[in-house]
Every structure is written in C-alpha cells, then in structure tokens.
Structure 1
Amino acid sequence: MEALRNSQTHSFENGNQEQKTNPFAEFQHKKEAEKRRAELFFQARQQEWSKVFSSKEKQTEKRIDEIRDQLKNLAKQVKTLDTNLLKAVESPIVQAGIYHESFLVHIQKMIQIFSLKVQEANSWLEMYNGRSAKKGVYWSMAKSKGNSYTQSNERAVATSVG
C-alpha cells in the first residue's frame, strides 16, 4: 500500500517539483510503443513483399504475352511455308535435271523432319487441352457442390497420383 502511495506522491528535489512516474504505466507505454513499431515493421514488410510479387507477376505476364506473339508469328510462317511449298512443287519444270531432283529430295527431307516435330507438338497440345478440359469440369463441379465434392474420400482416391 505504501508503494502505491509513494508512486502517486510528489517529491521535491532541489526546489523542483518532479512527479514520480508509475512503473506499470511506464512499462505499458513501452509495450505499446514496441507494439506500434512492430506493426509498422510488418506493414512495411507486407508492402515490400506485395511489390516484389506484383513485379514478378507482371514479368510473368509480359513473358507470356511475348511467347504468345512468337507463337502467332510462327503460325504465320508455317502458313507462308505451306504456300511457298505448293508454289515450288507445282511450278512447271522445263527441262528435268539432277538439280530439280536434289532440290525436291531436300524439300522432302526437311518436310519429313518438320512433320515429325509438328506431330509431336500436336499430340502434346491435344493432351494438354484434354487435361485442361478435365480440370474445367473438376472445378465447375467443385464450385457447384462445394466441399462435399472436393473433400470426399472417393474423389481423393480418383485424383491421387499414385
């Protein structure tokens, strides 16, 4: 009780009146200051992380757009190749020679190599599109039925990798 009374009384030292501070209030004030400092730190960190992630997302989106443009250009080049190939094959040969034969054989080999890559790319794209369609069905069912669909044991077994 006396400690409480002493903490609330005023002391006079050298003619100056100084109020003794309450240790609990001082501790609480320090605690609040520390809490505010921690909140400011976490806010600054969150802003920094959001800037980093948003810049990475922007870079990814930019890279995806660049790749799409490159693919569009490649598709145009393939169409141009098709028309040029038809012109080369259908052009009349006035006097047949070894040059014409080797030219057509060279084109044939290049087209065979090209067609192997095209077939591989087509099969890969078909598989990708099929998987994307399945994912769309899964997520539409998950959206309509909710957790009962996504959390069901039968569904977990059906979609498990192993």
Structure 2
Amino acid sequence: MKNIIKQYSKVVSSISEMSTEEAEKLLATVISDFELTKEVEVGDLINSLNELSNKNAVTVDQLLLALSKASSLASSEDISPEKVALYAACSANITRETGGIIGNALKSFLSRMSNVAEAKEALKEVGIEDFSKTNKVVDELVEKWKILDAKKKRDVAVKVAGRFNMARFMILFDQLSKA
C-alpha cells in the first residue's frame, strides 16, 4: 500500500498546489480511513477529485484536505469518499472556504444527523424516520429540501448543524438539491 500512496501522491502533487509529502500524508489518512485496498480505488478517487476540481471553484488539494478531515466519520457512517468530496465541492463552490473548514463542518453535521436528539427531531418533522444510515438520511434530506420553505430550511439547519455551521449546511443542501 505504501507504493500506491507514494505513486498517487506524485499524481496529486502534479494536479494540485500540494507538495508530494503533503499529498502523501493526506492520502494515507483517506486510504486508511476508507479502507481502500486496491490501486484502482485510489486511482478512481483521484480522478473524481480532479473532475470535481475542474467543474467547481475548488482545488484538488482543498478537496483532499476536506476529505481527510471528514474521512474517519464518513467511513464509519458508510459514506463513500466520492460523496464526501462531492459535498466538499458543493460547499467550496459557494463559500470559498478552505478544505479544513469545510471538512470539519461536514464531520460536525454528519455526526449530528444521527446522534443528536434535537437534530433527529428536526429531521423527523420533515418526514425522515430512519437514522440507521447517515448516507440515506442525507439523500432523503436532499429530496425533501427541494420542497421545504425557507423558514423550515433554517429550522432544520440550525437544529442539525448548530448555529455555527447553519449557513454551511444550508449552502450544501441548496447545492445538492439543484444537482
């Protein structure tokens, strides 16, 4: 696996503003957290990051940083690295915040969705009942978000994401619901 990390850290370095050493460190975290064991999985992830970077106002290094911040929680919640990268790209495209800030925000509200009573109650109010898989909660909320009024969106956002991350949460779901 070390050879794969070294090989792809060079690729990341060539398509980003990140040194090979920085890329190696972040890739090692992501690969370990998501238990990526095949070279093709790592290659597909790098291609996905590059594609998202090309389509959004975010760099590969910022996407990889966001992914590394949220990877431990996301993998435990069965959210793919590509989906986390998509969430980060949607957020960064509007907020222009760093990958570190975006990754920490994602980690915070993904955790709160299935673990905080107030968040679960807010999600139940919009018709989400099953909290066993956070990735399914996100997908359901994206669909519900399309029909919620502005007040209900704010209520859900503050209860799920907290006041500090409310705007980031709303931006993410606004973007995801347009995709």
Give TM class, smaller chain. Answer: under 0.3
TM-score, normalization: structure 1? 0.22
Larger radius of gyration: 1
TM-score, normalization: structure 2? 0.20
- More contact order relative to length (CA 8 Å, sep ≥ 6): 2
The structure with the largest strand share of the pair is: 1
